[in-house]
Structure 1
């Protein structure tokens, strides 16, 4: 397991990008739960963020691709609107403890 950040560094209803061992990832916290995905839109293979650490739509309720506006569910990465509807982001196994948020590289 690899530590990506402390729990305090990812507030509820927020997102954060990471470059871990040359792999671009992002994490989202919603309802106290952390979700981590590979930062690649299934439509064109581009990064999703609008600007650094900005992966969510204006309501902070969906992940949004900055390139084509595709919308993804935070909980499972499924695309629910846009050119890649029915496809999903690639999840990364993670866990959180008192030290922080860990991924399984």
Structure 2
């Protein structure tokens, strides 16, 4: 576990294919929005920034999944991303994926877990 783990949410706050939870991480000079979702029983987190144009993905607060609940979608351009990897699956992401954010789920909670090597710090 990373030395500076920070609580994001309780595990029960994330439902498979359901709403995500937004949080922020310290980026290059400023706080950057991020989100965590549950997909196939696991928590996955990314910067809340489309690979096509740096805008937030959610079409409604905390809504990141397409109607099928199989893909993350950019509400503005319709780019589709794989929830388990952030990989671009189609649309205007032009082969660029989402930027992953390190998280860990344990003891009924999800934590942001930056390491010394990560560009994201708490």
Give 1:23 shift: 2.4
Structure 1 match to 2:28: none
Structure 2 match to 1:13: 17
Comparing both structures, which one devotes a greater share of its residues to strand? 1
Runs ≥4 residues deviating over 4 A: none
2:17–2:39: 8 Å Cα contact kept in structure 1?
A: yes
The structure that has the greater radius of gyration is: 2
Q: What is the total number of aligned residue pairs between the two structures?
A: 105
2:19–2:63: 8 Å Cα contact kept in structure 1?
A: yes
Give the unaligned 5+ runs of structure 2: 26-30, 114-120
- CA distance in structure 1 between the aligned counterparts of 2:109 and 2:44, rounded to whole angstroms: 13
2:11–2:105: 8 Å Cα contact kept in structure 1?
A: yes
Give the unaligned 5+ runs of structure 1: none
Aligned counterpart in structure 2 of residue 78 of structure 1, from 87, 90, 100: 87
Structure 1 match to 2:44: 35
TM-score relative to the length of structure 2: 0.80
TM-score relative to the length of structure 1: 0.93
- Alpha carbon RMSD of aligned pairs, Å? 1.3
- CA distance in structure 2 between the aligned counterparts of 1:91 and 1:14, rounded to whole angstroms: 19
